[in-house]
Amino acid sequence: MIIFPAIDLKEGQCVRLIEGRMDSATIYSRDPGSTARAWQEQGAEFIHVVDLDGAFAGQPRNRASIMQIVQSVSIPVQVGGGIRDMETIADLLNMGVNRVILGSAAILRPELVAEACRRYGDRVLVGIDARDGMVAIQGWGETVSKTAVDLAREVKQLGIKRVVFTDIRRDGKLSGPNLAATAELARASGLKVIASGGVASLDDIRAVKALEADGVEGAIMGKALYAGTVKLAEALAIARGEDATC
């Protein structure tokens, strides 16, 4: 299982939100590159980056910060937020980003998802963000009449192999991930799933790891790491199966 430390970018700074509300931002760092480097030094094998301004604007707004992150680490970086055309996908991948995550585009431009999969294969993911089981897009500001499971099945037909699943109600609240919905999504779609939203403790990491057989292959961690309630090294040990309590 992979642990993905998250770097959420707002106006070039590393922040955390609650339920995706921009007015709830807490600034944790003004230097995204050094933040990414610190996670790598603590053992991270992959970094998860979200361009929050881009998600709301519909096009990237933190390109310089993303480039800074990529240039600061030797581990792979995946990026989402406002990626809605092929030019942006190509730009990010050419910059050195390892994987791009399409969110709203999966609803608004499914043909883009299909074309991106044809060109770039499993370097393209879809982010499925759900509020009470229903998909939310446009920076989580709009809920559409489609369930997370239905969207997962649709993007699989377009060529997607892996999704990031976020329960919006849990995001940034340290309330624990929605394990039941995450497992259901993996089983119902047959896709590989990265869990996001609410991971708050080592027990949460153990619970997500227990879903590996269902197809859940990773967990994104944000606030718990920044607030210090979980040490990355301990989470990584659990993810590798080196948990002394098991």
Catalytic residues: 8, 129
Using alpha carbons, select from 119, 87, 116, 118 the residue that is nearest to residue 101.
Answer: 116
The one-letter amino acid at 208 = V
Rounded distance, CA 33 to CA 69, Å? 4
Q: What is each CA distance from 111 to 116, 159, 213, in whole angstroms? A: 9, 11, 31
Question: Which tokens hold the place of 92?
Answer: 């990010």
Residue 20 carries which side chain, given as an amino acid letter? G
Of residues 142, 185, 181, the one with CA closest to residue 163: 185
